[in-house]
Amino acid sequence: MAKLYFRYGAMNSGKSTALLQAAYNYEERGQRVLLAKPQIDTKGDEDVVSRLGVTRHVDFLVGHDADLRELFHRAASNAHPDSAHRDLEVSCLLIDEAQFLTTEQVDDLMRIAVLDNVPVMCYGIRTDFQTRAFPGSARLLEIAHTLEELKTICRCGKKALFNGRTVDGTFVFSGSQVAIDGVHVGYESLCANCYLEESGGVLLPRIDIKAEFH
């Protein structure tokens, strides 16, 4: 039986780089992989983008209400005609920015791993800029066979745990759960001490919020 993996870390912990390296490792051995990411992640459009400058086109995008297992089956049976591995069975499904998936879509990933016997490797962050879990990450932490933390450091040199959001260079602690890194919005990986320093000592209480998808 194949497994569902969740490899998580704060921003700038090399998640997309690790995903692209995993894809390269499979293909170097003549095996076929599929890459996907949530449609809401507009950074790179239809590409997985590493902060090291490496990019790769995804095989399919996952809309907010999409049946992820159906998308996987469709992509697995309709490989791009230029693919060197189009006649091979899929050896692994790689998901970037998995925190943006819904709980139902994460359940689909478990079905792909267990019922379709295809390993699924998910990469993403656990919590948003207010230290609250994303729905996809929460579900992955609940059901994934294997959890692996990808580590990075804060500006002070300590291990980074949290993702601070900035707008025009100033830290903010209110707003929509989802705001893609861009010209005005940025993120910085922070340790607990530096996060509390920037937030005035506040770790926001856990309340019911709804992620805003645009």
Active site amino acids: 97
Q: At what angle do helices 68-77 and 103-114 cross, to 10 degrees?
A: 50
Instruction: Provide the terminal-to-terminal Cα distance of the chain, rounded to the nearest Å.
Output: 37
Phi, psi of 109 (to 5 degrees): -65, -40
Nearest to 139 by CA among 190, 103, 163, 167: 103
Which pairing describes strands 47-49 and 170-172: parallel, antiparallel, or unpaired? unpaired
Three-class SS of 141-189:
HHHCCEEEECCCECCCCCECCEEEEEECCEEECCCCCCCCCCCCEEEEE
Under 8 Å between Cβ of 137 and 102: no
Write the CA distances from 94 to 1, 33, 44, 76, 183, integer angstroms.
Answer: 17, 7, 17, 13, 28
Range list of β-strands (E), 9-70: 32-38, 47-49, 55-57, 60-62
